[in-house]
Amino acid sequence: MSSKERPTLGGTRIKTRKRNIAAPLDPAAFSDAVVQIYLDNAGDLELIAKSIESSELDFSRYEGRGRDGNEVIFTGGRTQPGTTKPDEGERHPYSVIHCEPIREAILPSVVYIQKILRRRPFLIKNLENVMRRFLQSLELFEDNERKKLAIFTALTFSQKLSGLPPETVLQPLLKDNLVAKGLSVTFITDFFKEYLVENTLDDLIALLKRGKVEARLIDFFPSSKRSPEAFSEHFTKEGLVPLVQYNEKRLFEVKLAEMKSALTTQIAEEADVEEVIETVKLNVKEAKLPDIEVIRLLWDVIMDAVQWSGKNQQQNANSALRQVKTWAKLLNTFCTSGKLELELIYKVQIQCYEDAKLMKLFPEIVRSLYDLDVLAEDTILHWFRKGSNPKGRQTFVKSLEPFVKWLEEAEEEE
């Protein structure tokens, strides 16, 4: 059988089928077509949604190209690149920018977008791009227009528009020029007030965390007003007291954590006790930490530095008591009242109750703190007779009876 060369298509011209030829993009005509649907239905969003659903407009082709249905929803038509000024073409008067700056007027547009997104979920990227572009250009809008955008933005999250990422919507508000002009804090205030109409503070905090701005709320303020006092004054005046309280608690926890980290390092490095005392005093002064929280923190840091043994109870006792003796002066410096001494006993009680290896150490630790002049006799007797914390109390009272009996006998002899 003779071999033959395979035939080739060299020189043959293949015709392109017409259905594969894409019509050139015409963003302007696309926007005008969407505007016309608004005008034909006199702004009735229910009818507009149905008309768009039955239309042959190919929204997917214009995704992220600066001309899409979302821009028409916001401004009523095309805008000139980099501005909010109207571009050539028809416009409609039923946009978010043209309505009243109240939720009742803006909510229908949000519901309308929800309907569109259910049928065309790929358009969420369009909405994200348009919102980010407008938020980055807040200075181009009038005051009442910015308020409308804030209400609209809050409602989009309140109504849980599927897939809209908080980070890409909220982060643009931290642009230096917007912050410096006070536009960011005004916008975010309107946003908070609207969002909290139907949502809890916990919902808001969760949203801010997803947007990676929960720990940066102070950064929305101009640099001249970037202080806890200014933050509290502003949001209290705006009726957002729960947010003020949350922020104060968060700042307190941050300062407490910073102080704990500094002390942990010093104690681990066996720094001089006087140096550690000065560190505590400095942190207390700067952060205005409550005395009770300081006592609790000191005990935690001191005990965290103990090298515990797995099962050797006597070794654990020796290590804990040695640590108490080493840092007794630190505790004594800040246990300046019977109330604080009682708080220290409660702290020891809770730790011994929650940690099985320390359960039997309670009386020894209390006795050691007494011998080192950290705890007064009256404080120990008060805890023994009237202590209010129930955790392991019955067990600890019984274990402390011999020591208390000794104290009472010594008191009688005196």
3 state SS for 309-378: CCCCHHHHHHHHHHHHHHCHHHHHHHCCCHHHHHHHHHHHHHHHHHCHHHHHHHHHHHHHHHHCCCCCHH
Q: What is the pTM of this model?
A: 0.74
Structure tokens, 49 = 């949604």
- How far apart CA 150 and CA 192 sit, in angstroms, is 9
List, for the chain, all residue ranges whose pLDDT scores fall below the cut of 70.
Answer: 1-27, 58-70, 80-89, 162, 310, 410-414
The interaxial angle of helices 241-268 and 201-210, nearest 10 deg, is 60
327-386 pLDDT, tens digit per residue, is 999 999 999 999 999 999 999 999 999 988 888 889 999 999 999 999 999 999 999 998
Q: What integer pLDDT is reported at residue 345 of this predicted model?
A: 95
Q: Where are the domains of the chain?
A: 25-239, 292-413
Q: Which CATH class is domain 292-413?
A: mainly alpha
Q: What integer pLDDT is reported at residue 83 of this predicted model?
A: 60
Q: What integer pLDDT is reported at residue 163 of this predicted model?
A: 72
User: Which residues does residue 86 pair with via DSSP β-bridges, in sequence order?
Assistant: 79
What's phi and psi for 147, nearest 5 deg?
-65, -40
The per-residue DSSP string of 231-276 comes to: HHHHHHHTT-HHHHHHHHHHHHHHHHHHHHHHHHHHHHTT--HHHH
